[in-house]
Structure 1
Amino acid sequence: MEFNITRDYRNELLSRREVSFALTYDGATPSRDEILGKLGAKLDAKRELMVLETTKKPYGVSESSYIARIYDTADELTKTERAYMITRSAEKKAEAEEAE
């Protein structure tokens, strides 16, 4: 999995960082959890403060483009983001452990 960051913008009004990137990979399309985990490690950001918004994948190509938002605090995240986006971008391992 290879990241190519095309835009990295700081939005002071919403206390977040907006990152557009292209992702090249082999095989199946990576999950949101994998993408956010590796992007967080690359950008030195906390996983729980990240939301992956847009995914665009052309047919037959092993490359996708994404937009991710990284918030400064959990409070800013909950004030700005829609609830379903927070749930969709939540780490899946934690949810699986809660169900057991």
Structure 2
Amino acid sequence: MFMVKISIVSESYNKLLRRKDVQMLVDYDGATPKRAELLKLIAEHLKVSEDRIAIIKMVNLFGQHRVSVHCHVYDSVDDMKKYEREYVLKRQGVEVSGKTS
């Protein structure tokens, strides 16, 4: 694997949706990490399971080995499936049931 440093820029809790909104910067060596790799690293850093995290946006900062990441950390998997947008769930390979496409 490669060297990674994660720093949290902002973190706030949304009581209505029962989730934590997290903005972070991820410094890395080598190639840009894939979404699945980032999901695993973020889960380890925040000490939560991967199936409760939804990565909303990843922006590679120009000329730097740094990615800006916006993610939602839900209190439960059911809350994530209920409130998160369908395309975000599909992007992470989460089974979407009960929603029409």
Q: TM-score, normalised by structure 2?
A: 0.83
Provide, for residues 30-51 of structure 1, a one-character-per-residue CA deviation record: whole Å limited to 9, x for no partner: 0111111111111111101111
Counterpart pick for 1:48 among 47, 51, 54: 51
CA RMSD of aligned residues (A): 1.3
Shift of 1:22: 0.4
Distance 1:38 1:20, change over 3 A: same
Q: How many aligned positions are there?
A: 91
Counterpart pick for 1:69 among 61, 72, 80: 72
In structure 2, the gaps of 5 or more residues are 95-101
Correspondences of 1:1-100 after superposition (within 5 Å): 1-90=4-93
Identity %: 29
Q: Which residue of 1 aligns with 2:99?
A: none
CA distance in 2, matches of 1:56, 1:83: 20
In structure 1, the gaps of 5 or more residues are 92-100
CA distance in 2, matches of 1:76, 1:56: 26
Name the structure where helix makes up a greater proportion of residues: 1
Paired letter, 1:74: V
